[in-house]
Amino acid sequence: MTDRASTQTMHAASPASFAIHRRADPMAVADRSKLLADPGFGRVFTDHMAMIRYTEGKGWHSAEITARKPLMLDPAAAVLHYAQEIFEGLKAYRLEDGRMVMFRPGANARRFQQSARRLAMPELPVELFTRSIHELVDVDRAWFPSVEGGSLYIRPFMFASEAFLGVRPATEYLYLVILSPVGGYFKAGSPAVSIWVSQDYTRASPGGTGAAKCGGNYASSLVPIAEATKHGCDQVVFLDAAEHKWLEELGGMNVFLVFNDGTLQTPPLTGTILPGITRESIMTLARAEGLTVREQPYSLDQWRADAESGRLTEAFACGTAAVVTPIGRVASPQGEFKIGAGGPGQITSSLKQKLVDIQRGKALDPHGWVYTID
Ligand code: PLP
Ligand code: COI
């Protein structure tokens, strides 16, 4: 299915064939400006969306940029029953000279293909993924937020739209991209976030879908996230399903530990955690600085012991939405411990600055990560 889908795509929906239908009634400039001054995260959406259809036997077709509007779905659409859905998250930035750029869209496109394979869905060619975003961001570029540190969050997603209740891969899919002008993911003003260790729930098990970016993984994280909130924490960290011992990742971010010898450690990609693009970028930047980064398992007991002995000096979460966010406090039913001074550490801050400067075109881009839209 996959090979055939890719070949057909090139014929049926080539990047050049995006039809652009600008809406006749875009939001009034004054209303838009008000929203863009304080968008929060994921609450504000732009005027347009990208859409491509997939039909078995025909491949990808009907690529368009069109008004963002509610979708018509048959109540038997397979996604509503068996959750055959995947998504991505990346950001676009506006440079000082007004040009729009995005960060590593090719890496998101490839991860979208990996997620599609795991969920038995057709793979969208990398070029079509990138082009759909390029065209949409170009049309909605006036929606870049004015809030300090803001960005345009890009949400590509795909789901099974075929009306069929049998359990098998669907034969029809919709791929869409929506844009959300955003500020920070966490509430502003706090120097570091607090993390709740989920004891009763795990996020993913060996052989499951932990490495895929599918909606189902997030549905099952909602109860543990609510539990974290109940305990006064900002996020949840999951332990492995087999031993309930090893750190995996947060609800929507990867995790890094920083030690007093200047080395870093992050859990390895064993198939149960999301291969974060920020994670990979941070490892590359740290290694380019001469820092040692280990991809090795790290236990909760060790985390507590190292934080208490001072061997562990910093910890941070990273992801597209969260960028790089210091972790100041870790809480569990067994009690809590503080990391370092409870605020942003020096290595965390310096790696974050390096990443953000590349993303926003303020530093050279030696790795070719920045894609210019103009
Ligand atoms: N882990 C999970 C579960 C996520 O949802 C995300 C966010 O996309 C990440 C890690 C970080 O991935 P990335 O850096 O590619 O955004
Ligand atoms: C992202 O960082 O893009 C995510 O998908 C995570 C989610 C918490 C918004």
- Asked whether residue 365 is assigned to any structural domain, the reply reads no
Helix (H, G, I), strand (E, B) or coil at 264: strand
The predicted-structure confidence for 47-58, as pLDDT tens digits, reads as follows 999 999 999 999
At residue 15, the pLDDT reads 61
Burial 98-117 (b: 16+ CB within 10 A, else e): eebbbbbbbbbbbbbbebbe
367 domain residue, yes or no = no
Give the pLDDT band of residue 190 (cuts 50, 70, 90): confident
pLDDT tens string 325-336? 999 999 999 899
Residue 244: which domain range?
A: 193-359
- pLDDT bin (cut points 50, 70, 90) of residue 234 is very high
| Residue environment code for 165-185, b if the CB has 16+ CB neighbours within 10 A, otherwise e | eeeebbbbbbbbbbbbbbbbb
pLDDT recorded at residue 5:
38
Q: Are residues 239 and 335 in the same domain?
A: yes
pLDDT in tens, 33-47: 999 999 999 999 999
In a domain, 335, yes or no: yes
Contacts of residue 305, defined as CB under 8 A and 6 or more positions apart, other chains included, come to 311
pLDDT value for 347: 97
Domain match, 96 and 236 both: no
Confidence check: pLDDT of 236 > 80: yes
**Three-state secondary structure readout of 142-187:** HHCCCCCCCEEEEEEEEEECCECCCCCCCCEEEEEEEEEEECCCCC
Whether residue 162 is predicted with pLDDT greater than 80 in this model: the reply is yes
Number of domains the chain contains:
2
CA distance 236 to 194: 9
User: Which of 155, 184, 213 delimits the end of a domain?
Assistant: 184
Nearest atom within ligand 2 for CA of residue 153 = 3
Give the pLDDT mean for 144-153. 95
Question: What's the CATH number where 98 sits?
Answer: 3.30.470.10
- The set of protein residues with a Cβ atom below 6 angstroms from ligand 1 is 89, 249, 252-254, 274, 276-279, 319-320
Return the best residue to mutate from 185, 198, 225, 254 for the ligand 1 pocket (most ligand atoms within 8 A of CB): 254
What is the H or E stretch that residue 56 is in? none
Domain match, 159 and 201 both = no
